[in-house]
């Protein structure tokens, strides 16, 4: 297959692009920067398309390449619906396939905070067969993007709702936990501040396991089209266990709660009691990485090494 990854140097996009390369596909990846294209994409056989994907000029550039591809994956970061909706519409508008051609596949990366329902027991337990919830205000816009993609008759539309991603460059664990822990480790009190919710359980996923799910659903789009997949480990991790592990690896003495200051912070500490099952049922997908807590030494070192590389 020919595959186009939007946001190919990102924490989800790069491992996904590499997984498609390893599986023998031809992979194009967008990046805004010439130097990222040269350092991160070209060396691992991802064909760079340098553009800002959210400008008219950028859309014309990537749209032309993507229109020739069989799979397009939106791995761009988004805090609202507009860019992602425009991105999808723009891709469809570039399609120019002869009648009777196979439909391309479009995979949108969403998040599973739209499933989170809070702290309780079985009433709050959820998976991809369950409807979305109104619990996390920050992500109430997600269905505005997911709906048109899932319902489109122009593509096999697939949604992957990723859990809180760890591994490699650390994703959100960088700014929320690792950065403040590293900074505090150099102070005298060695206590870092972060957003804490003692009972919170986090649905986590390693970026390489998420990449494997992208690959599996893309290769089976004919049966996965129109479906939502949750990408998270079979068991959630306790936020306070994650924080304790970060205390240990950073050499800190502890942490304290700085309080949630916006809806994203609240989502960050929200509990999503989730055990995905559709990825396994339709594609045999099973996450294989160590949990964040179990592998914390490796994940902390990888985050630190990536941070040094960015300098
Ligand atoms: C959270 O747990 C810590 C440590 O056990 C405790 O000091 C703190 O009061 C708890 N916070 C809340 C809001 O319950």
pLDDT of residue 120: 67
Q: Which residues contact 159 (CB under 8 A, 6 or more apart)?
A: 107, 108, 110, 146, 149, 150, 227, 228, 229
Over the stretch 144-162, which tens digit does the pLDDT of each residue have? 999 999 999 999 999 999 9
pLDDT of residue 247: 98
Over the stretch 80-128, which tens digit does the pLDDT of each residue have? 999 999 999 999 999 999 999 999 999 999 999 999 988 767 888 889 9
Centre a 10 Å sphere on the Cβ of residue 98 and count the other Cβ atoms it contains.
Answer: 5
The two tokens of residue 119 are: 């702290």
Instruction: State the distance from the centre of ligand 1 to the C-alpha of 49, rounded, in angstroms.
Output: 49
Instruction: State the distance from the centre of ligand 1 to the C-alpha of 196, rounded, in angstroms.
Output: 9
Quickly count helices (H) and strands (E) in the chain: 13, 13
Instruction: State the distance from the centre of ligand 1 to the C-alpha of 167, rounded, in angstroms.
Output: 28
Q: How far is CA 68 from the centre of its chain?
A: 25
Instruction: State the distance from the centre of ligand 1 to the C-alpha of 257, rounded, in angstroms.
Output: 9
Mean pLDDT by runs of 10 across the 311 residues of the chain is 97 97 98 94 98 96 98 94 96 95 97 88 86 94 97 98 96 97 98 96 97 98 98 96 98 98 96 94 98 98 94 82
pLDDT of residue 310: 83
pLDDT of residue 117: 86
pLDDT of residue 112: 95
Instruction: State the distance from the centre of ligand 1 to the C-alpha of 198, rounded, in angstroms.
Output: 6
């Amino acid at each position: 297959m020919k595959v186009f990854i939007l946001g190919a140097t990102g924490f989800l996009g790069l491992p996904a692009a590499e997984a498609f390369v390893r599986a023998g596909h031809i992979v194009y990846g967008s990046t805004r920067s010439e130097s990222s294209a040269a350092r991160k994409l070209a060396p691992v056989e991802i064909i760079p398309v340098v553009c800002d994907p959210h400008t008219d000029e950028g859309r014309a550039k990537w749209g032309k390449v993507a229109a020739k591809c069989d799979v397009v994956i939106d791995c761009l970061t988004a805090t609202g619906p507009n860019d992602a909706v425009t991105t999808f519409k723009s891709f469809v508008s570039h399609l120019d396939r002869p009648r009777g051609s196979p439909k391309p596949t479009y995979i949108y990366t969403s998040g599973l905070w739209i499933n989170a329902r809070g702290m309780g027991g079985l009433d709050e337990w959820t998976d991809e067969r369950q409807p979305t919830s109104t619990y996390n205000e920050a992500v109430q816009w997600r269905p505005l993007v997911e709906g048109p993609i899932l319902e489109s008759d122009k593509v096999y539309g697939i949604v992957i709702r990723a859990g809180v991603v760890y591994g490699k460059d650390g994703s959100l664990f960088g700014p929320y936990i690792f950065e403040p822990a590293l900074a505090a480790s150099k102070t005298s009190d060695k206590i870092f501040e972060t957003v804490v919710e003692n009972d919170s359980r986090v649905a986590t996923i390693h970026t390489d396991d998420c990449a494997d799910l992208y690959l599996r659903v893309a290769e089976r789009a004919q049966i996965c089209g129109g479906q939502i997949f949750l990408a998270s480990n079979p068991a959630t991790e306790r936020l306070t266990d994650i924080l304790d592990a970060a205390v240990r690896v950073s050499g800190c003495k502890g942490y304290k709660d700085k309080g949630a200051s916006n809806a994203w912070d609240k989502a960050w500490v929200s509990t999503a009691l989730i055990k995905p099952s559709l990825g396994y049922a339709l594609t045999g997908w099973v996450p294989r990485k160590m949990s964040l807590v179990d592998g914390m030494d490796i994940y902390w070192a990888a985050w630190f090494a990536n941070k040094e590389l960015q300098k």
